Amino acid sequence: MCQSQLKITREDIDPDDTTSFFDATVSSPDRLLHFVQHCELDAFLQMALAHKIQMIPLTRQLTNLAGNSWNKTLNGGRAERNEYILLHEFHRLKYVPPDKTWAKKSGAAAAKIEVADDEGGAAPVAAKSKRDKYKGGLVFEPKRGLWDKYILVMDFNSLYPSIIQEYNIDFTTVDKTDDDVRTFILES
C-alpha cells in the first residue's frame, strides 16, 4: 500500500527477527534505535494512508447513510451496514422487521435429520456435532429432454447483500410493463 499509494518504499522486518532487536548482548543501541524509528515510520505511514484515501470522512459518510455505529464501519462491517440500511427502510415503510434470532447449537444432543436413501425413502440419521460453517446452495436435478423454453430460478438467499444493493435486485424492482414479462405471464 505504501508503494502504490504514497510512493514510499517501506522496509519489511520479519516478525521472527523482532526479538533480535532487543538483544541485550549487543554493546551498541543502534539496532534498537533502528527498530524504534521503524515503528515510528509505520505509525506515520498508517496515518498518511488514512489521510490519502480519506478514510475518516468516507467512513463517517457511510455511517451516516447506514445509521449504524461508526466503530462497526471502521472495522469493516459491510454486512451490518446493509442490514441497518434495510432496517431503516423497513421503519420508513412502517414495517416491523422480525427479531434477529441466534440459534444455539448444543453439542450434547445430536439432532435427528432425515436423509433420502437410494429407494427414495427417508432414513433418520444422527447429525454431526460439528457441521461445516457454510452449506452449498440448492441444486435442481435436470430432467432429460429437449427444452424450448427458458426457466429462471432466483435464489435471493444466496445473494450477497452488496450484490443485491449494487444491481438493485429485488422482486419490487421488476419492470412489469416489459414485453417479455407480459408474454411469460400470458403463456402461463
The arithmetic mean of pLDDT across residues 149-163, rounded, is: 69
pLDDT class of 99 with cuts at 50, 70, 90: confident
How far is it, in rounded angstroms, from Cα 4 to Cα 114?
54
Q: What is the pLDDT of residues 51-62, one digit of tens each?
A: 999 999 999 999
Q: What is the pLDDT of residues 18-52, one digit of tens each?
A: 888 888 777 778 888 999 999 999 999 999 999 99
* More confident: 48 or 185: 48
| This prediction's pTM | 0.46
Would you kindly state where each structural domain of the chain is located, as residue ranges?
A: 2-52
Is the model's pLDDT at 185 over the cut of 70?
Answer: no
Can you give the pLDDT at residue 24?
A: 76
